[in-house]
Every structure is written in structure tokens, then in C-alpha cells.
Structure 1
Amino acid sequence: MPLTVVDINCDMGEGFGQWRLADAEDTKLMGLISSANIAAGFHAGDPNLMDATVRLATQYGVGIGAHPGYRDLQGFGRRRIGGTNDEIVNDIVYQIGALREFTRRYGSNLQHVKPHGALYMELAANEEMSRSFVGTLRVVAPNAYLFCMGVSATYRIAAEAGQPVIREFYADRDYDRSGSIVFTRRVGRLDPKAVADKVVRACVEGKVRTVEGDDIDIAFESICFHSDTPGSLEIATAMRAALTANGIRIAPVSELPITNARG
């Protein structure tokens, strides 16, 4: 069925000290999204930036999510880092806890958790790691939505365990015929209208074109784009306008009237 309401999420607060990786200012993007994935210190982010981004999201009424990554500031979390499942999951718990304290500071709460970059892709494919991660999430953040791909091991395991779970559609990434995004460390400038058309088609028809040239079915509750994609502000503006023009309302996941968002 065509979607009539959808969440838009974006990775935010991705800098460190004086450095900023976002193509557009967080303030400009925050007014265009409904959920923010806030870097929690390992791939990007620091205490001052986390504080400022959480405060900004609270002011805009945007749902706040922890965006934990591999301990890889130099590689921006887009390189796989070795470690045992316990070591990786403990790093995730550490980052969730740090971000959650800033939400409490501003009278907000942790809406969701979304792993970043190479960690997101590793969890998607690694059933043992996903089971450890989801099992831990059931203890430390049982009411937080988990954002992941619908074709991932993460989604299946979270749904089985009863963790609230949200499937994502990636506006600024390509898909292969397996239904997975094509992981990349660098994205060139995209045509905002083409991205908006892709998103509207996914919402209305439930279809996306793959890099192999096939059309595949796609199901999701949230649309993701990245603040470090060149032209991210133009992409977000075009995408939101196109969704609205097609009668699709944008709302945080906590407001979505769909039951499968909770597994």
C-alpha cells in the first residue's frame, strides 16, 4: 500500500572540535527532518557538539537517536574495526549512554538507536553480532526504536525479540538486487529532483531501481539521507516538497500509525 505518512531521518552532529563534515549546517537541516541520528563520539561528535545538537533537535521537536559507530575518528566510522562481539557491543552501549544523558539534560528522551556506517553494515550481515547487540538493547533501551534495513539480520532479530524496529529507505544511496544499499565511503553530488522522484516512487509504488537495472520491492517506515552528502540541504528541501505535494505527511516515528514499526 502507498505510504501516507513517513519519517525522515538524517545523520547529525558529525564533526569533532573545530571540524565539521556536514555539507549543510545542522540548523538548516533540522527544520526539514523528523528524526536526528546524533553522532555519539566514536566516529564523530564530542561532548560540546552532542550537547548543541541535542538541544537543537529538542527545540525543533525532532526525535533524537544515538548514532554509535566504530571507534574510528580518522576513517569516519566507514572502515570495519576488528573486535569481539562483546567489545563492539560495549562500545555501542557506551555511546548510547553518553547521548542519552544529553537528552535528559534537555527534558527529552532517546527515541531511537541507529548504528553508523561500517558498523551498520556489519550488523546487517553478522547474525551473531546482531543477536548480541539486540539482546543488550532489550536491557539498556528496550523502548528505543532500532533503525536498520528491512533485509538485514538486524531487522529480523529485533522483530523476533520484540525490540521496536524501523526499516529505512536510503534516498542518497544506491541499492543492489538483494535489497541492500551499496556501501560507499564517498558520494558525489546528486540531482535533488532525481532523489526526490526516487523517494516518492518508493513511497507510492514500493519500488526502487537497482544498480543492476532491476526494479525491486522495498518496504520501509523512515527515509534516510546524510548531512555529509554534497548538496544535502537541496536534497532535503526537494524531497520534503515532493512528499508533501504527493500527500505524504512527515512525522517522527513515535507518531506513525503503523504496527509493523514495532516488529
Structure 2
Amino acid sequence: MVGDLRIDLNADLGEAFGAWSMGEDAAMLAQVSSANIACGFHAGDPETMRTTTVSAARAGVAIGAHVAYRDLTGFGRRFVDAALEELTSDVYYQLCALDGMAVAAGERVRYVKPHGAFYHASHTHTPHATALVEALTLFAEVSGRQLPLLLAPGALAHDLAAERGFATFREVFADRSYNPDGTLVSRRSPGAVITEVPAVVEAMQRFVEEGTIIATDGTVLHMDAESICLHGDTPGAVAMAESVRAALSGAGAKIVSFA
């Protein structure tokens, strides 16, 4: 049993754009404790950002800035070779935009999580990991608030952020397959996204009870993380989130945001 374990459930939300809808945000907000809200660069628009922050605030869900490369066409899943200074400004712009929407909803942005290709670059790409931390630093200097950073274990950006005194938190992915080295299987590969609810529930129960994830080749990966990510655009995302939350709560875990 998991005893007094506290675990966060986060999901990528607010990813509609104009006439195009994405996911079932209202239903997901009833299940998660943290919402990674798109800031308009990979998805989202001002109206979507505003309505999603309002909904998250009303649901008592922590608001996170889901910052990304400037890549609406590719949904932020393509690497963009932006200069450090340009990317710093892009991230800072996104933080300020979403925080402004959150303030209007009576809340504030509580943490930051990069999206897609920027997320992966933040683990290994020194200039872009640095740009992320530079933007966090600039935001802290202007607002007086240090925002925690959410990434997978072992991220370079975590190390850089910690050196400047920022809190860092780690996550595992409920609906993604892992390579033996602990990285995620590329979305271009078969089986990268797990859509079978029983398999996801079993994997997350194992994680909270044993701290392990099973890679595609059977390798047992020991993972230390405070949050579980459930993608809002995965097929059957709501049913998956409901089942994971019910299973973890039933085992005694408390679902609460790290932020």
C-alpha cells in the first residue's frame, strides 16, 4: 500500500485554437490536481487561455504555464533552432500572458512545464535549457515570485534551475512507453502512446507502490517523481484519468498538486 503518499496528477489542457477543439478540458479538470495550460505558441489562443484558467481556478486546480516553441503548425513537437535570447523572450512572454489571465481569474501561475520538443530539449540542449531558466529568472525578478519547474527526472534544465534556487519537481508519464534508458519512446514509433486503460492503471499503481516503470524491453526503471502526467489529447483520456485517480485514491494516495 502507498500509505501517506501524496501524488500530483497533471494534464496538458487549453490546447484548442480558434474553431479547432482539443480534448475534454472540463472533464479532465475534475480529475487532475495540476493543469499545464497552453500559452498560445503551440496551441491555445487568448480566449482559450482565459476560459481555461477560469475553469481551473474554479476547480481548485493549480495553474501551470505550458510554454513551447513558436510552432502552431507542428503543435510544438518540432525542434526550433531559436537563439538563446529569442527563446528567453518567447518563454517570458508566454509566462506573463498566462499569468495575466490567471490573475483575472483570481489565481496565479504556480509552476512551469515546457511542451513537446522544447520539453525534450530542456533535458539535453544547453542553450535552450538555459533560455528556459533565464526566462524563469526574469519572471522572478519582475514579479517577485519563483516558479517551480516540472520536467522528467535527469533534466539539464532542472540542474540549471536548482543552481539559481528554483524548486524543481519530476514527473512520469502514465500514457507513454519508455525506452530502456528511461527516455520516452518517440511518438513516431508504434506503441509510443498507451491507450489501454487497464495497462495504464497497472503501471501507475506499480509506480506509486514500488517507484518503478517497466520499459518496452522489460527493463525495470527506478523513477523518483512527484507527479504523473495524463495527456488530455490521448484517446480515452477522461476515462483513463478517472481510472488512475480512483485506483490511486483507493490505494490510499492523496491526490494533491506539488505546487
- Quickly name the TM-score band, shorter chain normalised: over 0.9
Alignment of 1:239-250 (within 5 A): 239-250=244-255
Do structure 1's residue 234 and structure 2's residue 239 form an aligned pair? yes
Alignment of 1:172-211 (within 5 A): 172-184=175-187, 190-211=195-216
User: Deviations along 1:192-226, whole A, 9 cap, x unmatched?
Assistant: 11101101111110111112320010000011011
* Residue in structure 2 matched with residue 17 of structure 1 by the alignment: 18
> Is 2:176–2:194's contact at 8 Å kept on the other side of the alignment?
no
| SS in structure 2 of the partner of residue 66 of structure 1 | strand
* Residue in structure 2 matched with residue 168 of structure 1 by the alignment: 171
> CA offset at residue 189 of structure 1?
6.0
Distance in structure 2 (CA, Å) of the matches to 1:185 and 1:90: 30
| SS in structure 2 of the partner of residue 230 of structure 1 | coil
Cα distance change on mapping 1:189 and 1:166 into 2, 3 Å: closer
* Residue in structure 2 matched with residue 97 of structure 1 by the alignment: 96
Greater CA drift, 237-246 or 185-194: 185-194
Alignment of 1:206-221 (within 5 A): 206-221=211-226
Which amino acid in the other structure matches residue 245 of structure 1?
A: G
Percent identity between matched residues is 38
* Residue in structure 2 matched with residue 7 of structure 1 by the alignment: 8
| SS in structure 2 of the partner of residue 80 of structure 1 | coil
Alignment of 1:47-126 (within 5 A): 47-126=46-125
> CA offset at residue 160 of structure 1?
2.5
Distance in structure 2 (CA, Å) of the matches to 1:7 and 1:93: 25
> CA offset at residue 127 of structure 1?
2.4
Distance in structure 1 (CA, Å) of the matches to 2:188 and 2:230: 14
> Is 1:189–1:230's contact at 8 Å kept on the other side of the alignment?
no
TM-score normalised by structure 1 residue count: 0.91
Distance in structure 2 (CA, Å) of the matches to 1:101 and 1:185: 36
Distance in structure 2 (CA, Å) of the matches to 1:144 and 1:83: 23
Distance in structure 1 (CA, Å) of the matches to 2:118 and 2:196: 28
* Residue in structure 1 matched with residue 146 of structure 2 by the alignment: 143
Q: Report how many residues are paired.
A: 252
> CA offset at residue 21 of structure 1?
2.4
| SS in structure 1 of the partner of residue 36 of structure 2 | strand
> Is 2:41–2:69's contact at 8 Å kept on the other side of the alignment?
yes
> CA offset at residue 185 of structure 1?
5.8
> Is 1:151–1:179's contact at 8 Å kept on the other side of the alignment?
no
Greater CA drift, 134-143 or 165-174: 134-143
Query: Which residues of structure 2 form unaligned runs of 5+?
Result: none
Query: Which residues of structure 1 form unaligned runs of 5+?
Result: 255-263
RMSD (Å), alpha carbons: 1.7
